[in-house]
Amino acid sequence: MTPTFAPDLEADRAFMRLALDQAQNAWLLGEVPVGAVIVKDGKVIATGYNRPIGDHDPTAHAEIVALRQAAHLLGNYRLPECTLYVTLEPCAMCAMALLHARFARVVFGARDPKTGAAGSVVDLFAEPRLNHHCDITPQIEQEACSALLQDFFRARRKEQKRPEGV
């Protein structure tokens, strides 16, 4: 049974702003700007941002980077008392990793209409055939999270159109 939370909207917004800071780190490295923060007992215990290009690792999504850090810190791959904040709706790979880790709650910013696995394309978190589910809080700081991604891809398209040597 998944615990039921009475979310604190101000705390959710504050932690999502920290995830947005992590997403900025990804942008600075030329990665898609997605950031994640893991919270336990009201304290940040792990952070991560997208690094698949720089790390040559297709699994180095922000959620996975933060999850690995939290698991090492706590000495356990199960994180049932933790909440993940991520700026973009988790993909199927990340959603399943979060479910396997038994996260209590996942809070995300922007929806992902192409690969979102928390309701946009599929909802793995509510899949009745799975043995674990988590509470989902969608669209916290959605405008800021969406704007960051839109700005990044707009800038990337401009760079691709720029003639060589300019």
**Active-site residue, 63 included:** yes
Q: Which residue in the list 31, 63, 89, 141 is annotated as catalytic?
A: 63
Structure tokens at 107: 């809070």
Write the single-letter amino acid at 46: A
Q: Which residues contact 132 (CB under 8 A, 6 or more apart)?
A: 2, 99, 100, 102
Q: Which residues contact 156 (CB under 8 A, 6 or more apart)?
A: none
Q: Which residues contact 54 (CB under 8 A, 6 or more apart)?
A: 29, 30, 31
**CA of 142: how far to CAs of 77, 98, 102, 106, 130, in Å?**
29, 21, 25, 14, 28
Active site residues: 63
